[in-house]
Structure 1
Amino acid sequence: MAANPRGKAETLARRRRLLSSSCRLFFPEDPIKIVRGQGQYVYDEQGTEYIDCINNVAHVGHCHPLVVQAAHEQNQVLNTNSRYLHDNIVDYAQRLSETLPEKLCVFYFLNSGSEANDLALRLARQYTGHWDVVVLDQWRRHQWISFGMCLVQGSGSIHVVRAGWRPESKLSQRPSDMMWTPKWGMQRWQSLILLGATISRILLACRSAPLGSVPNVPSCPQIAAFFAESLPSVGGQVIPPAGFFPEVAEYIRRAGGVFVADEIQVGFGRVGKHFWAFQLQGKDFVPDIVTMGKSIGNGHPVACVATTQAVARAFEATGVEYFNTFGGNPVSCAVGLAVLDVLEKEQLQAHAAHVGSFLMELLGQQKAKHPIIGDIRGFGLFIGVDLIKDEATRTPATEEAAYLVSRLKDNYVLLSTDGPGRNVLKFKPPMCFSLDNAQQVVGKLDAILTDMEEKVRSCETLRPQP
């Protein structure tokens, strides 16, 4: 730490001068300068403590001493690339394999979730010989490399996006019967049937596309993969019904594609009931590829792709070596092993189930008290609180959500919003988040919502504090 640390204003001025404005901050009207973290808490330059309800990256807690120690000890001995034989990478792969279905037994190590999804796309295309991708766009997570360039973002529908197409050419501009938007009030079985029917129409449209209509794709377009977060987070903490993804997988595999489960934000015991969120879909459901990142390294840049022998062999058949300079290095694997050790020793998966259930119960009491809360959904320590303007239209309460998050920050609770309407409060704290934390956060939430309702009755404007 610097002997004379800069004040927040100076740091902010330098950031604005040196970094692109597209690199956004949390709480842009009044950002917090965080200088330290421990467990489920972060501290600003004045020593003020905040409960962190946002940071799923610090999976087992900010600066967990065992994780820090593992990185430090390995750094003192060796850190090099994975072309050298070393125990850490094979030990880590073995430990990960013990958490996954037997079929998912080949591992690739990388630095970030974005890289993991990029590699998953390459694996899928090589294995299937197809090019197109199906995504639930409303449920998409931002990816910033070539994968993200391919999965053009739209307005809450299923798309098949072709590499080489300009944004104005994307499939979302085809007829409206190609579109699917989830309705929260709809029965789950109806929603699933509609999704299946939509995918069928998309596959039919792809197969009927004239040869040569897709630039840079030499053959008639067919499906390589379906990508989805096992519990879509950016879409607003969406909870697909059990059986949802097995149904999708049946359609996709029938079309020659593979199913890719993105566990980057929701894996590693966060859902409590299971170690992986895709396991919520039923014990017999096994994706063809699983991508992981963020929580895998507790803040250290580690990521992984797990797949089947068949997919891996197809990739190997190209003769092209897969190499990632820092992926799978001894320090990263030591960190990954330490994270798994902490999860096991501190029983954090069971802890997430227990604390998450308690938090859902407390939030349910708030829903009964405050009409602005339209829905509460989640598993373990992955929970969304959907704020609406009224029950009849379910219009997203976007401004109210922004005001609430700003007020919570002023009360030393860090929370954020997501979803297409930016109206879903998302809880995904470090896994050591406690019962006491849950009570404190919900107590402050209740007080602010009550104050907001009083302001509305008195016709005051809700604006975040400067």
Structure 2
Amino acid sequence: MIGPATYYRPEHRASLDERTRALVDRREAVLSPGYRLFYAHPVEFVRGSGTKLYTRDGDEYLDVYNNVPSVGHAHPRVTAAIAEQSALLNTHTRYLHEGLIDYAELLLGSFPAALDTLTLVCTGSEANDLALRVATHATGHRGVIVTENAYHGVTTEIAAISPSLGGADSLADWVRPVRPPVGDGTAMLRDARAAIAELQAAGHGVAALIVDTAFASDGFIPPSPGTRAALVAVQRLVHDAGGLVIADEVQPGFGRLGIGGPGSGDGAASLWGFPRHGLEPDLVTIGKPMANGQPVAGLVARRALMQAFGERVRYFNTFAGTPVAVAAARATWDVLHEDRLPEHAAVVGTELRGMLDELATRHDRLRGVRGSGLYLGVDIVDPATGDPDSPAAVNLVGALRERRILISASGRDNAALKLRPPLPFSRADAERFITEFDAALSELG
């Protein structure tokens, strides 16, 4: 099966309770086989609140995984904004609507002045797809450089630049993977020089370098003087080759990395990951947490790029930027700032990281605690060899599910645990997670 080993598989069916087995059977009869369910024993939720999810029987689960409801599941202010706007009007962006303009002005105010133009779409995949279209239009080139285990989305074009979906063999012939900026970043710089030369020799040229600014699929790579210097140098190489730089903020954006938190570079207040790496992108894609679960995403770009693109291409998205979508995004923005959730993510994320570091001193299966704000990763390894231990990671994911903690494994070896809870995640939530994680590790041995 393609995808994480933590997915439900047909051989798990026999161990399911009667209701779950019936729901799985009904689902499989009508939905695409491409859909996946988490866990060997899938879980059915009927309600959410803050950092908690609840089953039909009222069992409470702590959500340490879902980053989309960034201000908390079923936030009353967001749901009220959606309901109120739905009762008034929901059209599209071909009519004037002040709410859209107000939101765009607020959002763009959080970016460097050069990034002054917003295009709304519905998903992060669409945002990256549009960014790639703009880059190829602006440069006249086709070639794309990505990190070696990157994930950027699921459209045909973007899946072709997402090696985490199917490995290097799944990449289009106009794509070249490079190592991420680990260590001092010199390996990435060497790879980038070679990738540019190969793309130019093949006649593709260089349209864009695209990076997830948390490098989550590549293992959560924090900024350091060496990685910053390497990324700035790679950015310069790409620009010198006539290409553009795309910062993919779909997952790390909107304060998840923590304002002024660990690894935030110069500590300046920022909702975005790219300043931490010294990047000055031409295009920035945003999405997932943008409207707390409503399908809202966007492309932020330099106006000259969008001006040239708009003169030649008629781009329209029926459901992007509608009054209801914008109302959800604006309410999410207001809660994010009024509740100071990025600052909260920095504080609680630092505390959680410290708890994980302490846990690693007692459990030799834990290595490489890393990340920033409430976007953390930790490796699960074989204690004897130190090698990634995917079976153990899968076992821990299942054990935590039984302890009513939601988490998943990811990474190239499917042996890293990814922590990215809703941003109101509290110290008490962190302590609950650590208590259950400690117990699961002890049972695993």
Residue 272 of structure 2 corresponds to residue 276 of structure 1: yes
Which residue is equivalent to 1:175? none
Alpha-carbon offset, residue 259 of structure 1: 0.6
TM-score of the pair, normalised by structure 1: 0.85
SS at match of 2:369: strand
Q: Deviations over 1:18-51 (max 9, x none)?
A: 1223210111x20000111110000111110000
**In structure 2, C-alpha distance between the alignment counterparts of 1:295 and 1:239, rounded to whole Å:** 21
**In structure 2, C-alpha distance between the alignment counterparts of 1:46 and 1:328, rounded to whole Å:** 37
Which residue is equivalent to 1:39? 50
Amino acid in the other structure paired with 2:90: N
Which residue is equivalent to 1:434? 426
Alpha-carbon offset, residue 360 of structure 1: 0.3
Residue 165 of structure 2 corresponds to residue 150 of structure 1: no
1:107 to 108, 118, 124: 118
Residue 210 of structure 2 corresponds to residue 227 of structure 1: yes
Q: Deviations over 1:88-112 (max 9, x none)?
A: 1111110101111111110100110
Residue 94 of structure 2 corresponds to residue 83 of structure 1: yes
1:360 to 353, 357, 360: 353
SS at match of 2:253: coil
SS at match of 2:298: strand
Residue 406 of structure 2 corresponds to residue 395 of structure 1: no
Amino acid in the other structure paired with 1:237: F
Residue 10 of structure 2 corresponds to residue 18 of structure 1: no
**In structure 2, C-alpha distance between the alignment counterparts of 1:354 and 1:379, rounded to whole Å:** 10
Amino acid in the other structure paired with 1:78: L
4+ residue segments displaced more than 6 Å: 154-160
SS at match of 1:417: strand
Residue 311 of structure 2 corresponds to residue 317 of structure 1: yes
**In structure 2, C-alpha distance between the alignment counterparts of 1:180 and 1:196, rounded to whole Å:** 9
**In structure 1, C-alpha distance between the alignment counterparts of 2:326 and 2:21, rounded to whole Å:** 38
Alpha-carbon offset, residue 364 of structure 1: 0.3
Which residue is equivalent to 2:439? 447
Sort the Cα spacing of 1:182 and 1:280 in 2 relative to 1 into closer, same or farther, 3 A.
Answer: closer
Q: Deviations over 1:371-399 (max 9, x none)?
A: 111110010000001111147x5421100
**In structure 2, C-alpha distance between the alignment counterparts of 1:47 and 1:25, rounded to whole Å:** 21
**In structure 2, C-alpha distance between the alignment counterparts of 1:171 and 1:196, rounded to whole Å:** 13
Alpha-carbon offset, residue 147 of structure 1: 2.3
SS at match of 1:42: strand
Cα RMSD of the aligned pairs, angstroms, is 2.1
1:112-191 map, 5 Å: 112-138=123-149, 140-141=150-151, 143-151=153-161, 153=163, 161-162=172-173, 180=179, 188-189=183-184
Q: Deviations over 1:100-144 (max 9, x none)?
A: 111111010011001000000001011111111111131x11521
Alpha-carbon offset, residue 159 of structure 1: 10
Which residue is equivalent to 1:422? 414
Query: Contact 1:133/1:162 (CA < 8 Å) preserved in 2?
Result: no
Query: Contact 2:70/2:423 (CA < 8 Å) preserved in 1?
Result: yes
Query: Contact 1:272/1:380 (CA < 8 Å) preserved in 2?
Result: yes
Report the identity percentage.
35
Q: Deviations over 1:320-375 (max 9, x none)?
A: 22110011011101111101100111110110001000000000001111111111
**In structure 2, C-alpha distance between the alignment counterparts of 1:264 and 1:446, rounded to whole Å:** 31
Query: Contact 1:136/1:158 (CA < 8 Å) preserved in 2?
Result: no
**In structure 2, C-alpha distance between the alignment counterparts of 1:69 and 1:312, rounded to whole Å:** 34
Q: Deviations over 1:201-236 (max 9, x none)?
A: 111122223xxxxxxxxxx32000011110122333
**Comparing 241-250 and 304-313, the one that deviates more:** 241-250
Query: Contact 1:265/1:293 (CA < 8 Å) preserved in 2?
Result: yes
SS at match of 1:256: coil
Amino acid in the other structure paired with 1:153: P
SS at match of 2:237: helix
Amino acid in the other structure paired with 1:255: A
Query: Contact 2:117/2:303 (CA < 8 Å) preserved in 1?
Result: yes
Which residue is equivalent to 1:167? none
**In structure 1, C-alpha distance between the alignment counterparts of 2:355 and 2:176, rounded to whole Å:** 42
Alpha-carbon offset, residue 447 of structure 1: 1.4
SS at match of 2:247: strand
Alpha-carbon offset, residue 151 of structure 1: 1.7
TM-score of the pair, normalised by structure 2: 0.89
SS at match of 1:331: helix
Query: Contact 2:152/2:159 (CA < 8 Å) preserved in 1?
Result: no
Residue 63 of structure 2 corresponds to residue 52 of structure 1: yes
1:342-357 map, 5 Å: 342-357=335-350
**In structure 2, C-alpha distance between the alignment counterparts of 1:180 and 1:254, rounded to whole Å:** 20
2:368 to 363, 368, 375: 375
Structure 2 runs not aligned, ≥5 long = 1-17, 260-269
**In structure 1, C-alpha distance between the alignment counterparts of 2:369 and 2:256, rounded to whole Å:** 17
Sort the Cα spacing of 1:387 and 1:321 in 2 relative to 1 into closer, same or farther, 3 A.
Answer: same
**In structure 2, C-alpha distance between the alignment counterparts of 1:415 and 1:152, rounded to whole Å:** 23
Which residue is equivalent to 1:206? 199
Alpha-carbon offset, residue 237 of structure 1: 3.0
Amino acid in the other structure paired with 2:111: L
Q: Which has the larger radius of gyration?
A: 1
2:333 to 340, 343, 352: 340
Query: Contact 1:291/1:304 (CA < 8 Å) preserved in 2?
Result: yes
**In structure 2, C-alpha distance between the alignment counterparts of 1:159 and 1:222, rounded to whole Å:** 20
